Structure 1
Amino acid sequence: MIARPAAAPGAAPSPPARERFAAIDVGSNSVRLLVAEYDSASGLNVIDELKDQPRLAAGLARTGCLDEAAIERALQTLARMREVCQRRGVKRIAAVATAAVREAENGPWFVRRVRQELDIPLRIIDAETEAALSYRSVAHHFRLAGERTLVADIGGGSLELIGAVDGLVELTVSLPLGAVRLTELHLPDDRAAHKEIQRLRAYVKKRLKRGISGRAWAAATVIGSGGTFTSLGRMVQARRGLPAGDTVHGVSVTAAEVEQLIDWLASRTPEQRRQVPGLNPERADIILAGLAVTAELLDWVRTRTLTVSAFGLREGLLLEMAGAKEISTPDPLRLFREFAERCQSDRR
């Protein structure tokens, strides 16, 4: 269980009663900080958190490099996060960079700047580690025993998928289907006409077919982690006429609701999308791409609903630092079976 703080982020700290950890996720769209304490009885107790959207993936698909302005925004955000860690008495920090930094030609240079200028131990993680950390967090908060589960995390640069059967990980896949990347390539200049969205969805479907067997994961329980899914959950709650709660964790969303949102948002102007209840205005320009990936994933694995997880990679990092129970490792025979089934699916 993860308990959230009652105080506002940045509030004056109380003296640490236990060792405090901090996790920083340098993503393609957002940079997020989580400060917490951990014990085996109560789990993670969140002390503080901070989020900003420097959008490191901006222009990456076109240039192959991190944009200088985005780098400066990210450095400013990380400097504020370092100050929060110092104020909160953090003893250990784990900081990871994902798809944008991983793929960028100047990604290693950016990491060196963070280490040298801010003394934050940032490291680039591969796609498999990224997916595993997200899954660790989901497995900590959902009962997965006896379930066929597909965890999806749509970032700014990539889609991470991890599949498990009865808690045993069998599949990890990373696809270049991030919301920022797809928006820049397929929905430029805030255009969201029907033909552009259909073209985008056709591209997403093609990449999904190459990456995951629809047959092997048909009717799996889909759990969505990350900003696209939490935004989806909040928008759906608003459209259902429900009051905005403290969290969208555990909210169930139907495939039909995703389709309705895509059609409705596509009919709005960019300014109208920024006013949508439940949607962060800073995510308004990339939400359609994220929802297109969501809709095509549900269609490909023939699943009618998904469940939103409010917890993701940062929580997985904290659990790893705290020495929480490891997730199950893949069985080679099951991985071989999945590969064979995927090959059969690709021939359909």
Structure 2
Amino acid sequence: MRLGVLDIGSNTVHLLLVDAHPGARPNAYADHKQQLSLIRHLDDQGAITTEGVDKLLLFIREAVSFAQRNGAEDMIAFCTSAIRESANGPEVLAKVTDETGVHLAELSGDQEAAMTYFAVRRWQGWHVEHLLNFDIGGGSFEIAYGTDELPSRAVSVPLGAARLTREFLSSDPPKGKQLRKLSGHIEAVLDDTLGHLGDSIQMPEHTVVTGTSKTFRSLARVAGAAPSSEGPFVTRTLKRKDLKYWIGKMSKMTVDQRAQLPGVSEIRAPQVLAGGMVAHAAMKYFGVKRLVICPWALREGLMMGRLDALLMEGVVGRDLDPWVGSLNLSSGAETPGFSLGVVSA
């Protein structure tokens, strides 16, 4: 079936349409997105401005029309920190529902971290036991860790790249005092976060550490990783020592100069430095020398979770025909086998 996932993020608003069915790799069919940057449409009281709300409503109407024209059979819509933490978030959500008919599910920071981890786990598979994921958004930074499909620990902190740029890096290029103040703030927030987590995150030597989000992809590209044109199956990594080098270089660049770096778009150029500082601080705190870039993140996690739910509800079925040697092992299947006392409903 063709599923739609509407993601209202701090930087980008994005509708992704995917052809998917249980047991198969989801294939992107089409997408519609806009660099709306809701986090830039905040007034002094932290409320989304009238202009920002109007732009959001316009995009959502366009997204619904796009999904309908392209044959979407099901669509989920959600928002993250940009609306969740705005002073008028509840009013904005109500206005979206009233004027577009779309109900935006408001994800908590922990849910955002957990569902992103879920996508990474599906991508990495079970050859990875201990998994730690970092995700830097525009408004928040998520950390999730576990050994199962869903994490045993998930946390979100207000260290988003756009948020920190707005609050700390007003000069172009930033002044040394601003960079030191931002660095101290990041360390203080991470100290507090790690204090709450305590010893609950155990990282054996073979732990796989991943980074998701456009910020991590951009940082990896700047540091020499393959461009997006080579596809999602190329291994991309980011080393802490390379990140430190590029943070030093970018801190002396203007926004226009950063926009000339490979993998850095014009809209991301102002915030890539702050994002790099968060990434480096997190890698240092957890003793991570190298991480792997994962192409799947929150949208894919929610899409696969939705597909799983539809399968369990019986809305969609698993078609066994395409696979060689497929075997129906359901409780009601009339196939040779044995019983351990499992009674079908």
Question: Do both proteins adopt the same fold according to a TM-score greater than 0.5, normalized to the shorter chain?
Answer: yes
Where in structure 2 are the equivalents of 1:44-193 lying within 5 Å?
A: 44-58=26-40, 60=42, 62-145=44-127, 147-165=129-147, 169-193=151-175
> Over residues 148-176 of structure 1, what are the superposed CA-to-partner deviations in whole Å (9 max), with x where a residue is unaligned?
22111111111111111365622111101
Question: What whole-Å deviation, never above 9, does each CA across 1:97-145 have from its counterpart, x for those lacking one?
Answer: 1112111121112112222222222121211221121111111100355
Q: Deviations over 1:73-95 (max 9, x none)?
A: 32232222222201111121100
Matched, 1:234 2:205: no
**1:333 maps to what in 2?**
none
* Structure 1: gaps (5+ residues): 1-18, 327-348
Deviation at 1:20, TM superposition (A): 1.3
- Distance of 1:232 and 1:175 partners within structure 2: 20
1:222 corresponds to which of 198, 203, 209: 209
8 Å contact from structure 2 (residues 128, 208) kept in 1: no
Distance of 1:106 and 1:249 partners within structure 2: 42
Q: Which has the higher contact order (CA 8 A, sep 6+)?
A: 1
Q: Secondary structure at the match of 1:69?
A: helix
Q: How far apart, CA to CA, are the structure 2 residues paired with 1:146 and 1:244?
A: 27
- Asked if the contact 1:230/1:308 (under 8 Å) is kept, the reply is yes
2:308 is aligned to 323
Aligned pair in 2 of structure 1 residues 222, 62: CA closer, same or farther (>3 Å)? farther
User: Does the CA contact (< 8 Å) of 1:59 and 1:184 recur in 2?
Assistant: no
- Alpha-carbon distance in 2 for matches of 1:167, 1:75: 35
Distance 2:7 2:228 in 1: 29
Query: Which residue of 2 is the match for residue 265 of structure 1?
Result: 250
1:175–1:81 Cα change, 3 Å: same
| In 1: Cα distance, 2:14 partner to 2:98 partner | 20
8 Å contact kept, 1:145–1:166: no
Cα contact 2:22–2:308 (8 A) shared by 1: no
Q: How far did 1:319 drift?
A: 0.5
Q: Is the Cα–Cα contact under 8 Å of residues 136 and 316 in structure 1 kept in the other structure?
A: yes
Aligned CA distance change for structure 1 residues 59 and 83 (closer, same or farther; 3 Å): closer
Cα offset, 1:146, TM superposition? 5.1
The answer on 1:302 being equivalent to 2:287 is yes
The SS at the match of 2:291 is strand
Report deviation, 1:283: 0.4
**Identity among equivalent pairs (%):** 29
Rg larger in structure = 2
Match of 1:311 in 2: 296
CA drift at 1:200? 1.0
Q: What is the DSSP-based 3-state SS (H/G/I as helix, E as strand, rest coil) of the residue aligned with 1:268?
A: coil
Moved more, 262-271 or 146-155: 146-155
Matched-pair contact (CA < 8 Å) for 1:56–1:67: no
How high is the TM-score relative to the length of structure 1? 0.81
Query: What SS does the aligned partner of 2:7 have?
Result: strand
* Contact 1:156/1:181 (8 A) holds in 2: yes
Residue 297 of structure 1, CA deviation: 0.2
Q: Is residue 173–residue 252 contact of structure 2 (8 Å, CA) maintained in 1?
A: no
Q: Distance in 1 between matches of 2:233 and 2:48?
A: 32
Q: Residue 297 and residue 319 in structure 1: after superposition, are their counterparts in 2 closer, same or farther (change >3 A)?
A: same
Q: Is the 8 A contact 1:154 1:225 kept in 2?
A: yes
Q: Which residue of 1 aligns with 2:259?
A: 274
Q: State the number of aligned residues.
A: 306
Q: Distance in 2 between matches of 1:69 and 1:260?
A: 39
Once residues 59 and 69 of structure 1 are traced to their aligned partners in structure 2, the CA distance between those partners, rounded to angstroms, is 7
Structure 2 residues not aligned, in runs of 5+: 313-345
Instruction: Give, as a single letter, the amino acid of the residue that structure 1 aligns with 2:261.
Output: V
Residue type of the alignment partner of 2:154 = T
Alpha-carbon distance between aligned partners in 2 of 1:180 and 1:229, rounded to the nearest angstrom: 14
Query: Cα–Cα, structure 1 residues 59 and 131, in superposed 2: closer, same or farther, change >3 Å?
Result: same
